[in-house]
Amino acid sequence: MEQKNVVEIADFIARYLSYMLGAGVHTSRVVRNSKRLGDALGVDVSIHTSQKTATLTVMDRVGHVKDTRVLDIPVFPISFEWNADLSALSWAAYDRNMTLDEVKTKFEELVSKPKMNPVFVLFMASLANASFCRLFGGDIWAMLITFAATMIGFFTRQHLARRHVNHYIVFIVSAFVASICASTALTLGLDSAEIALATSVLYLVPGVPLINGVIDITDGHIQIGISRLVNALMLIVCIAIGMSGTLMLVKDSLL
């Protein structure tokens, strides 16, 4: 294989790898899939990952031509659809002996699929938080208030995120907005007002990075696992700050 071909393959694998890591796929799957893709295209792939960058070496098996690079990992919203589709792509390339051009075309097609409708997500997240309120023992009125509060809070989050506001600020503001809306339950004197207030911010909890972090740690990717957990922890601190703003206003006490 010529240097030119190895560079071309490395270009593509770098793109594949950064899309997967950026969309919140756990590390061992990304590494495994990239190696499989390399296998399909006839090269060896070695990867070192960290939270914001990754190092990639692609080596041809016969001529020992190499290409090494450091790449930045872009920030995408978490996408399980990409996780499923790009994993399937690596198997398809492996099983069907696809050429590099075929794999590239398929990749572009998969990542440009339309995302889920934001209004649908808004509705589903509000419904989810309302049923969460029920799981914690809230009555129907508490559920309704949680539903409305989540809807307003999540709407705020979507709009701030679209304007590329810093995500810590997004979390603080949306936690504050959701909890201040839910605090109307206290004003109305509902029995389960406390539950409505406590569950109104739970749609923000970064569950996916938390679980991904522990999965990475159990797989032996301890550094990136801890990075993910620390990242999630920062977001939880932001939720608590936003919510404590409300609690200080309406209750004078946090616990």
Partner 1 sequence: MIAADIISDGLFAAVAAMGFGSISDPPMRAFKYIALLAALGHAARYCLMTFLGVDIASASFVAAFIIGTGSVWAGKKVFCPMTVLYIPALLPMVPGTYAYKTVFSLIMFLQGISSPTQGSEYLQAMIFNGAVSFSVIFMLAVGATVPVFLLREKANSMTRGSRYI
Q: Which is nearer to partner 1, 6 or 203 (CB)?
A: 203
Q: HSE of 89 in the Cβ direction (CA atoms, 13 Å)? A: 28
Pairwise CA distance, residues 187 & 250, whole Å: 9
Pairwise CA distance, residues 157 & 24, whole Å: 19
The DSSP bridge partners found for residue 67 are 58
Pairwise CA distance, residues 119 & 125, whole Å: 10
Q: Residue 45: what residue type?
A: V
Segment lying near partner 1 (by CB under 8 A), choices 5-13, 41-49, 162-170, 211-219: 211-219
State the minimum distance, in angstroms, from the CB of residue 240 to partner 1: 3
Segment lying near partner 1 (by CB under 8 A), choices 13-21, 56-64, 183-191, 242-250: 242-250
Segment lying near partner 1 (by CB under 8 A), choices 12-20, 48-56, 62-70, 209-217: 209-217
Count of residues making up the chain? 255
Site for partner 1 in 107-146 (CB under 8 A): 110, 115-116, 120-121, 124-129, 131-132, 134-136
Gyration radius of the chain over CA positions: 22
Site for partner 1 in 170-189 (CB under 8 A): none
State the minimum distance, in angstroms, from the CB of residue 201 to partner 1: 7
Distances (CA, A) of 240 to 155, 191, 244, 253: 19, 23, 6, 13
State the minimum distance, in angstroms, from the CB of residue 139 to partner 1: 13
Enumerate residues 6+ apart whose C-beta is below 8 A from 91.
36
104 lines the binding site for partner 1 (CB under 8 A): no
Site for partner 1 in 6-25 (CB under 8 A): 24-25
Pairwise CA distance, residues 34 & 24, whole Å: 15
Residue with tokens 């572009």: 108
252 lines the binding site for partner 1 (CB under 8 A): no
State the minimum distance, in angstroms, from the CB of residue 63 to partner 1: 30
State the minimum distance, in angstroms, from the CB of residue 116 to partner 1: 5
State the minimum distance, in angstroms, from the CB of residue 10 to partner 1: 23
Contact 10, 102 (CB under 8 A): no
Q: Which two tokens stand for residue 9?
A: 């393959």
Pairwise CA distance, residues 130 & 154, whole Å: 13
List, in sequence order, every beta strand (DSSP E) within the chain.
43-49, 53-60, 66-72
State the minimum distance, in angstroms, from the CB of residue 101 to partner 1: 16
Q: Which is nearer to partner 1, 1 or 128 (CB)?
A: 128
Site for partner 1 in 64-93 (CB under 8 A): 77-85, 87-89, 91-92
Q: Which residues bind partner 1 (CB under 8 A)?
A: 24-26, 29, 32, 77-85, 87-89, 91-92, 95, 106, 110, 115-116, 120-121, 124-129, 131-132, 134-136, 198-199, 201-203, 205, 207-208, 210-215, 218-219, 236-237, 239-241, 243-244, 247, 253-255
